[in-house]
Structure 1
């Protein structure tokens, strides 16, 4: 376990553990979070180009409010581009998984439910969600927990229904180019019509290719803002036409201003918990 000691700010709320070695399944990131305080913790979720699974391991249930006013308690799956999602709880302890949507399609059992919203994990895994949670709670270390979660995801991925190789390829290209590549070009590269790519990609990833590209670019800009770059610099470096273009995307995805994104607690832990975004599963 690697436990962090951030000096100040939102990240100081957490003890964070990360895996000591890569897991068995590419396209999956993991981190363990334990709150340093018994006081209530409230987090606004910033959309990220991965499907996020939060396995609640604490004594008091984690509460996650979705953008439609629904309240979910316990382990949840947060989709690719949710808006208005907030998590809160006391003495929080959870295992967080970030899955490339290419992996999530097979490992979580489809994407219709989690494309843009919040879904209880039990709705996707049934009773096995509770049994897996108990195994994780009883594990003797975070490293053991990472091994259990990695093996479970790998098993479900192998048994699940894969995305089309063309869809996996297009997702990988969007991530590699940080959203800065034309969808028409990608359709030509896989030999599909634009209409076919749009239909297959949306049905298997949960977003249209264009919105997925915007999400990847927004994430790039959001992390630049969190690292201290000005809105003008972040816009230019992330490939936006101008600063107002960045403002529109930030408002669309996060519902706030670039300044608010720069100070978001959800992003404050990223340099410690995640070395980078989950890589797409090779086709």
Structure 2
């Protein structure tokens, strides 16, 4: 969970980049989330799935609380897996959370309200299957370097059943989810100054071209560009690894 605050005369325009978490944005200023795919401009509470396509945050008066939820927890909060969706919070969870955050007198109070509200919601929500939770944990622990067939064997499920249940509850199929976890690890290594060659080798990519294709597919830029991207610099400050 992180809070962002600032004012500028220039329009801030940052892409919402895929991340191995479902992200809840609660805007408390004049910001909005623009979905270039649907053309929708969303204000207030917005939820972005694991792999949002064409979503951008814009505004001059930035006052925003951002919460990243593991997709296993997000399923309990929102009742479903979210893939490439960018939706209004009220469409997946009718709640007074945005109004209560705006009325709060400090960031500490906002964090406390959000944490307590989400904890109650998680406690009363629908849990994912134990097998699905196990597979997601393995993906994160192994930084995306997994084989879906092996994970299916470890759960005792068929590959088809694992794909169906995982896709329905997490929001992406197992293979794509593992690629997303690996991508996230790779871009943080690039931002830390590691060379594309070393990142490709450490991440299990076939070669630098393979790394280039996956970074471009997820982020829309090259590995060289992603290393200095503003959103990644903010990411490491708000959520130090």
TM-score greater than 0.5 by the shorter chain? yes
- Which residue is 1:168 aligned to? 133
- Which residue is 1:151 aligned to? 116
| Greater mean alpha carbon deviation, residues 66-75 or residues 177-186 | 66-75
Contact 1:84 / 1:255 at 8 angstroms: preserved in 2? no
- Say how many residue pairs are matched: 240
Residues 98-125 of structure 1 deviation map (CA, whole Å, 9 limit, x = unaligned): 00000000112212xx311211111112
Q: Aligned match of 2:68 in 89, 93, 98? A: 98
| Greater mean alpha carbon deviation, residues 223-232 or residues 146-155 | 223-232
1:268-279, aligned counterparts within 5 Å?
268-276=233-241
1:1-283, aligned counterparts within 5 Å?
30-58=1-29, 60=30, 62-74=31-43, 75-111=45-81, 114-126=82-94, 128=95, 131-276=96-241
Which structure has more RCO (C-alpha within 8 Å, separation ≥ 6)?
Answer: 1
TM superposition shift of 1:71:
2.3
Normalising to structure 2: TM-score of the pair? 0.95
Residues 162-220 of structure 1 deviation map (CA, whole Å, 9 limit, x = unaligned): 10010001000000000101111111111111111011000000100000000000111
Q: For 2:39 and 2:79, how far apart are their aligned partners in 1?
A: 22
Q: For 1:63 and 1:135, how far apart are their aligned partners in 2?
A: 19
* Structure 2, unpaired ranges of 5+: none
TM superposition shift of 1:140:
2.1
TM superposition shift of 1:90:
1.3
SS at match of 2:64: strand
Larger % of helix: which?
2
Normalising to structure 1: TM-score of the pair? 0.81
Q: For 2:36 and 2:74, how far apart are their aligned partners in 1?
A: 21
Q: For 1:169 and 1:46, how far apart are their aligned partners in 2?
A: 25
Q: For 2:214 and 2:229, how far apart are their aligned partners in 1?
A: 16
* Structure 1, unpaired ranges of 5+: 1-29, 277-283
Residues 95-152 of structure 1 deviation map (CA, whole Å, 9 limit, x = unaligned): 00000000000112212xx3112111111122x2xx2112111212212111111111
